[in-house]
Amino acid sequence: EAGEKAASMIVVLAGTLRSEQPQTLFYVELKRGDWCFQNNILAVEPTRAHDVVAITHVMVLFLYRHALLNAIIAHPEAREAVLENESWRNDSSCAQLGGLRIFEGVPSPVLSRVEKEALP
């Protein structure tokens, strides 16, 4: 449902879904091989942008963000392609770890190691 917080995407395996923009007549049909909510799994948007309704019997795959992150650790060759699409990582308005109150007093070598591990 639109506005719902989610960190996953939907892949249609069989059947037909309708992706509807709430309060409008606009919709897009999703069939086998189509997907939606890729911005949610990439953490670009925290909430769903539209509703999805089944219009036939369907089989869908929900792919969750934690599974995606585990996959890029297991398959490092896919890491760059996934992380470059996480546009929030390049947003200069995101707080740096060293500037957060919770990290006050943390030794700088530890903080720099954490920041290094967080890089794409």
Question: Which domains occur in the chain, in start order?
Answer: 8-85 (2.60.120.10), 93-120 (no CATH)
Tell me how far apart the alpha carbons of residues 42 and 39 are, in angstroms, rounded to a whole number: 5
Cα–Cα distances in Å, from 74 out to 70, 79, 116, 119? 6, 9, 19, 17
Q: pLDDT truncated to tens, each residue of the chain (120 aa)?
A: 788 888 889 999 999 999 998 888 899 999 999 999 888 888 888 888 889 999 999 999 999 988 888 988 899 898 888 877 776 666 667 667 777 788 888 888 888 888 777 765
